[in-house]
Amino acid sequence: MDANGNPSGELPLSGGWDITAAEGFGFAGDMVTENLTPGGKLAGYSDGELFRVLRYGLNQDGDLLAFMPLLPYAQLSDADTEAIIAYLRSQPPVEQPVTTGDKLTFVGAVFYGAGIFGTPDPGTASVTAPPEGITAEYGQYVAKFYALRTTLNKILMKSCSRSIL
Ligand code: HEM
């Protein structure tokens, strides 16, 4: 994180980045990224619960999160989703003193409801990646998630909350 709480270009996975404030939507309230290392809330999530948050945007209590379902993770294959979970579990625990999660203002809730930030992806029970190879179909699948990664580096934030390609 830099002095303004924005990503520095590294991916420490420790969260604490207030997306709305960083993107000029501070009036809408806060959407603060979660600590993805085992040092935060994810330690209390089972693998199945983490799968559900990525596929359906539902937290541990089954409540629909605000920002997570705007990301394209619902279109990530079952196997790739499981691999991400295994990767996160393998990371060293890091503490994040910043309070994570959403706190939208009334105006933010109205904006969200109007789809200004994007539309939640409802997700489907099972997703299979296209066969790996030099094809447009596989390239589109990979590009979608490469764009998401660059989003983490705060380059394509606006694409992230809408369709990536
Ligand atoms: C491997 C990827 C990810 C995993 C496993 C993950 C997991 C989670 C979980 C479990 C929560 C809810 C924590 C709770 O309150 O119980 C959460 C919330 C959140 N995550 Fe993610 N996350 C991931 C990627 C991202 C990315 C890439 C972004 C933003 C670019 C992001 C932004 C947020 C935000 C803003 C919240 C607060 C609630 C909301 O607005 O949806 N997450 N995440």
Residues of the chain falling short of pLDDT 70 = 1-11, 147-165
Q: Is residue 150 part of a domain?
A: no
CA distance 152 to 10: 9
Q: Which atom of ligand 1 is nearest to the CA of 45?
A: 10
- Within a 10 A sphere around the Cβ of 27, how many other Cβ atoms? 11
**Encoded tokens for 61:** 């209590």
Residue 5 lies in a domain: no
10 phi/psi in degrees, rounded to 5: -80, 165
Give the integer Cα–Cα distance in Å for 64 and 53: 9
Asked if residue 55 is part of any domain, the answer here is yes
18 CB within 6 A, ligand 1: no
User: Looking at the domain assignment, is residue 46 inside a domain?
Assistant: yes
Number of domains, the chain: 1
Percent of the chain at pLDDT exceeding 90 = 62
C-alpha of residue 131 to centroid of ligand 1, in Å: 28
Q: Within a domain: residue 9? A: no
Question: Is the Cβ atom of 164 under 6 angstroms away from ligand 1?
Answer: no
Distance 84 CA to ligand 1 centre (A): 13
Within-domain flag for 3: no
Is residue 134 included in any domain, yes or no?
Answer: no
Average pLDDT across the chain, whole number: 85
152 lines ligand 1 (CB under 6 A): yes
Say if ligand 1 is within 6 A of residue 104 CB.
Answer: no
Ligand 1 centroid–CA 130 distance in Å is 26
Query: Nearest residue CA, atom 35 of ligand 1?
Result: 33
Asked if 32 and 14 count as a contact pair (C-beta separation under 8 A), the reply is: no
pLDDT at 51: 98
The per-residue pLDDT for 85 is 95
Say what the pLDDT of residue 106 is.
97
Q: What is the pTM of this model?
A: 0.86
| Owning domain of residue 122 | 19-129
134 CA from centroid of ligand 1 (Å): 31
Q: Does residue 34 sit within a domain?
A: yes
| Atom 5 in ligand 1: residue holding the nearest Cα | 50
Strand-strand pairing, 101-104 and 29-32:
antiparallel
